[in-house]
Copies of this chain bind each other. A is one copy, B any other.
Amino acid sequence: MKLYGYFRSSAAYRVRIALNLKGLKPEMAFVHLRHGVQGQPEFTALNPEKLVPALAVDGQVLSQSLAIIEYLEETHPTPALLPADPLDRARVRALALAVACDIHPLDNLRVLKHLKNAMGHSQEEVDSWYRHWIAVGLSGLEARLAGDPRTGRFCHGDTPGLADALLVPQLYNARRMDCPLDGFPTLLRIDSACRDLPAFIAAAPENQPDAEA
């Protein structure tokens, strides 16, 4: 297996957490998103969507962080990142998708660049956009997690799993952009519990070989 990522890509960060939780150590390749390497032919031949992460495995290249993590779950089921019961699995997947579909896509690099370069927004306006969607999305997640007895030390019970692998990178991004997080005590508590674990520490952007200051 070979993982194509970028230290600060939140989607690559998710996959690194999942790999670490499962004790898997693929070869790592680095795609410098700010230098535009994702749009160069050698990478688009691998992933025409021009996005990281991508996982090369068995002669194929898998894309989309959640599809990659589901693949890892199916092929390396222990330890499980999803609970066993279908209703619980739906809960965990919904928490993960609330990050992957409702928060992150609005705040990723290509969107922020488009707002600034193509639509003429100031950095202040772009930052305000960013914080708006973080606040909206995290509010929904906080309500969902705080009000549910299935929430434990982690997003679902007392074992880290898929939803935690999505939450932690999203909060990392939120902090980088100085988003106010006081209103999300449940998210902060879970994030803190996760970031004590070796799998999450080793996956953190600042601990990657391609990390920059």
- Would you give the 0/1 interface string for A83-99, flagging 1 where the beta carbon is closer than 8 Å to chain B? 00011011101101110
Q: In the assembly, how many copies of this chain are there? A: 2
Candidates B101, B139, B144; contact of A104 at CB < 8 Å: B101
* Interface presence of A181 (CB below 8 A): no
CB nearest to A129 among chain B residues = B119
Candidates B51, B86, B121; contact of A75 at CB < 8 Å: B86
B-facing residues in A114-166 (Cβ within 8 Å): 114, 118-119, 121, 125, 129, 132, 139-141, 143-144, 147
Other A-B contacts than A48-B147, A49-B102, A63-B94, 4 sampled, CB-CB below 8 A, are A49-B141, A63-B98, A68-B94, A100-B100
Contact A97 B94 (CB under 8 A): no
Given the known interface contacts A50-B140, A93-B66, the answer about A71 and B86 at a Cβ–Cβ threshold of 8 Å is yes
The interface of chain A, by Cβ under 8 A from chain B, is 48-51, 57-58, 60, 62-64, 66-68, 70-71, 74-75, 86-87, 89-91, 93-94, 96-98, 100-102, 104-106, 111, 114, 118-119, 121, 125, 129, 132, 139-141, 143-144, 147
A70 partner residues in chain B, CB cutoff 8 A: 89-90, 93
Candidates B50, B62, B96, B104; contact of A94 at CB < 8 Å: B62
A102 partner residues in chain B, CB cutoff 8 A: 49, 51, 105
Contact A119 B118 (CB under 8 A): no
Candidates B58, B71, B86, B93; contact of A64 at CB < 8 Å: B93
Candidates B62, B87, B143; contact of A87 at CB < 8 Å: B62
Contact A144 B89 (CB under 8 A): no
CA gap between A51 and B50 in the complex, in Å? 29
